[in-house]
């Protein structure tokens, strides 16, 4: 356990003369005409950071930002439990951008995340909010070649965002060193636990100086995460925003009863009525491909993302969905977290997830940062008990859900689609 006194600011490090001067990759945007967002400045951020927030279109801090930013600025360790889509990334990125020494060519901050998608999202937030700074951030994740990541490391980043496996791999082969890391962020810690990454995270921690500030973000704090936090963080401030494991408050949630053979037809009906972007969650990779093919055959602009698709295909699908090239994305739970695409109008659970917690993460893809979103779930008789679990966990009663078995007679006469 390190013994940095609570509330003490991190000492500023000075640039050693033998350190190479940073390479400026692109000219920064001119923020001179931008008014700093005053609400951000009042949290202890600099004028530059408040301008970065305003430039990104953030005028008011979200609840988690209001609570977390002053603690990070004060140098304290933090465990934050927050709603999905609450703005937690900017809650750590903004104060870190203020604190980084841009003249130093060493890795000063490390963000460990569970998935490649979250890795790209966090890196994107660093680049967006730090657009006016000479920031170099490397994104390190598995499933792709090493060359591009070696080049990023050779470019002397001040910040690294990475998934545990690849980060450890590069650490063990001495291509990465974290001896100068002073702020460590463990993002979506519960997800890392679920995915079996905790042993790798522990190994990574052995390479990070003990004299550091640690921030941990997690949607839920199960017992194991709590124990892990005890040995990893020092006198952490605990921050909880919103009620644990709840979907965004402004989300409209509905459920309809369907039988398995009519899901395909129902989906087409919903997609005809809904003109905005739709994220369709399905239970298996195979099902994802079948549903995707069905939608494409019906002439809809749809893409698909699941664990069997390689990184290039996943990136292409995500980019196409984010840019509007595809209106619909079919996904397995690989896309459940860390997917940050603005304006998803509807999350549709074609199959209910296995657990109520997964439901919360799925529907958190819409209604982000105070926008109104909608979630619709198809529920078969076999899934009633999961729906009840969801109601218990979220406290939301699906008022309009009527499991009308009597209407099954009518449905049998409808044309069936086997997807
Ligand atoms: P996160 O919880 O970090 O994944 O953020 C969810 C979404 O909220 C992202 O699209 C952010 O760009 C957006 N966001 C973060 N902070 C703010 C803010 N203060 N005002 C408006 N949008 C925000």
% pLDDT > 90, the chain: 53
* Chain center to CA of 78: 18
pLDDT at position 337, please? 54
Mean pLDDT of 195-222: 93
* C-beta 67 within 6 A of ligand 1: no
Residue 319 CA to residue 69 CA, distance in Å, equals: 30
Q: Which residue carries 């509330």 as its tokens?
A: 7
Q: Is the pLDDT of residue 165 over 70?
A: yes
Q: Which of 89, 118, 336, 339 to mutate to test the pocket of ligand 1 (most atoms within 8 A of CB)?
A: 89
* Per-residue H/E/C for the chain: CCCCCCCCCCCCCCCCCCCCCCCCCCCCCCCCCCCCCHHHHCCCCCHHHHHHHHHCCCCCCCHHHHHHHHHHHCCCCEEEECCCCCCHHHHHHHHHHHHCCCCCCCCCEEEECCCHHHHHHHHHHHHHHCCCCCCCEEEECCCCCCHHHHHHHHCCCCEEEECHHHHHHHHHCCCCCCCCCCEEEECCHHHHHHCCCHHHHHHHHCCCCCCCEEEEEECCCCHHHHHHHHHHCCCCEEEECCCCCCCCCCCEEEEEECCHHHHHHHHHHHHHHCCCEEEEECCCHHHHHHHHHHHHHCCCCEEEECCCCCHHHHHHHHHHHHHCCCCEEEECHHHCCCCCCCCEEEEEECCCCCCHHHHHHHHCCCCHHHCCCEEEEEECHHHHHHHHHHHHHHCCCCCCCCCCHHHHHHHHCCCCCCC
Position in ligand 1 atom list of the atom nearest CA 121: 4
pLDDT at position 312, please? 82
Residue 288 CA to residue 303 CA, distance in Å, equals: 10
Q: Which residue has the higher pLDDT, 251 or 94?
A: 94
Distance 91 CA to ligand 1 centre (A): 9
Among candidate residues 236, 211, 251, the one with its CA nearest the CA of residue 81: 236
Q: Take atom 12 of ligand 1 and give the residue whose Cα is closest.
A: 87
Residue 31 CA to residue 55 CA, distance in Å, equals: 8
Mean pLDDT of 157-167: 97
pLDDT 10s digits, 68-118: 999 999 999 999 987 667 899 999 999 999 999 999 889 999 999 999 989
Mean pLDDT of 371-386: 88
pLDDT at position 197, please? 93
Distance 87 CA to ligand 1 centre (A): 4
Q: Which residue has the higher pLDDT, 84 or 285?
A: 285
* C-beta 86 within 6 A of ligand 1: yes
Q: How is residue 360 written in tokens?
A: 């919360």
pLDDT at position 193, please? 86
* C-beta 85 within 6 A of ligand 1: yes
Residue 110 CA to residue 158 CA, distance in Å, equals: 9
pLDDT at position 15, please? 39
Of 58-67, 156-165, 242-251, 402-411, least confident by mean pLDDT is 402-411
Q: Is the pLDDT of residue 135 over 80?
A: yes
Distance 88 CA to ligand 1 centre (A): 7
pLDDT at position 19, please? 40
Res. 362 pLDDT band, cuts 50 70 90: confident
pLDDT at position 347, please? 93
% pLDDT > 70, the chain: 84
pLDDT 10s digits, 28-61: 677 777 777 788 989 999 988 998 899 899 989 9
Q: Which residue has the higher pLDDT, 19 or 155?
A: 155
pLDDT at position 173, please? 95
Q: Is the pLDDT of residue 4 over 60?
A: no
Domains delineated in the chain: 38-241 (3.40.50.300), 251-407 (3.40.50.300)
Q: Take atom 4 of ligand 1 and give the residue whose Cα is closest.
A: 85
Sign of CA dihedral 124, 128, 129, 134: positive
| Average pLDDT in the chain | 84
pLDDT 10s digits, 16-31: 433 433 334 456 677 7
pLDDT at position 307, please? 79
Q: Is the pLDDT of residue 184 over 80?
A: yes
pLDDT 10s digits, 312-355: 888 888 889 988 899 999 999 875 555 666 678 899 999 999 88
Distance 211 CA to ligand 1 centre (A): 30
* Chain center to CA of 115: 8
* C-beta 367 within 6 A of ligand 1: no
Q: Answer yes or no: are the C-beta atoms of 107 and 178 closer than 8 Å.
A: yes
Number of other CB atoms surrounding residue 166 within 10 Å: 21
Q: Which residue has the higher pLDDT, 166 or 246?
A: 166
* C-beta 90 within 6 A of ligand 1: yes
* C-beta 248 within 6 A of ligand 1: no
Tell me the range of 218-232, 286-300, 361-375 where mean pLDDT is highest.
Answer: 286-300
Distance 241 CA to ligand 1 centre (A): 14
pTM summary value: 0.65
Mean pLDDT of 143-162: 95
Distance 368 CA to ligand 1 centre (A): 7
Backbone phi, then psi, for 45, in 5-degree steps?
A: -85, 160
């Amino acid at each position: 356990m390190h013994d940095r006194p609570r509330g003490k600011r991190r000492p500023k490090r000075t640039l050693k003369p033998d350190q190479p001067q940073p390479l400026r990759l692109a000219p920064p945007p001119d923020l001179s005409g931008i008014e700093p967002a005053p609400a951000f400045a009042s949290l202890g951020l600099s004028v530059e950071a408040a301008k970065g927030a305003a430039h990104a279109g953030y005028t008011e801090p979200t609840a988690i930002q209001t609570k977390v930013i002053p603690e990070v600025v004060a140098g304290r360790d933090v465990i934050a439990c927050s709603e999905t889509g609450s703005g937690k990334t900017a809650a750590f990125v903004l104060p870190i951008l203020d604190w980084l020494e841009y003249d130093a060519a060493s890795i000063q901050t490390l963000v460990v995340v569970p998935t490649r998608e979250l890795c790209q999202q966090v890196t994107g937030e660093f680049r967006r909010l730090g657009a006016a700074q000479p920031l170099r951030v490397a994104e390190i994740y598995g499933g792709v070649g090493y060359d591009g990541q070696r080049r990023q490391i050779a470019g002397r980043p001040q910040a690294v965002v990475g998934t545990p496996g690849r980060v450890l791999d590069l650490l063990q082969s001495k291509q990465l060193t974290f001896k100068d890391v002073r702020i460590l962020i463990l993002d979506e810690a519960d997800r890392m636990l679920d995915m079996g990454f905790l042993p790798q995270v522990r190994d990574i921690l052995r390479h990070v100086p003990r004299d550091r500030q640690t921030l941990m973000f997690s949607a839920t704090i199960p017992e194991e995460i709590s124990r892990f936090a005890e040995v990893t963080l020092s006198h952490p401030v605990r921050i909880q925003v919103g009620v644990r494991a709840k979907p965004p408050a402004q989300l409209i949630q509905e459920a309809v009863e369907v039988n398995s053979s009519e899901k395909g037809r129902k989906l087409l009906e919903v997609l005809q009525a809904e003109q905005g972007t739709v994220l369709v969650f399905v239970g298996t990779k195979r099902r994802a491909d079948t549903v995707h093919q069905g939608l494409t055959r019906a002439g809809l602009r749809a893409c698909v993302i699941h664990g069997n698709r390689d990184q290039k295909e996943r990136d292409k699908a995500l980019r196409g969905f984010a840019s509007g090239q595809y209106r619909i994305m079919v996904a397995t739970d690989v896309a459940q977290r860390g997917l940050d695409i603005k304006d998803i109008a509807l999350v549709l659970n074609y199959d209910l997830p296995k657990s109520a917690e997964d439901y919360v993460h799925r529907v958190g893809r819409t209604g982000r940062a105070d926008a109104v979103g909608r979630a619709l779930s198809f529920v078969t008789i076999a899934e009633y008990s999961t729906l009840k679990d969801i109601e218990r966990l979220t406290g939301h009663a699906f008022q309009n859900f009527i499991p009308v078995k009597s209407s099954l007679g009518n449905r049998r006469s409808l044309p069936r689609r086997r997807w």
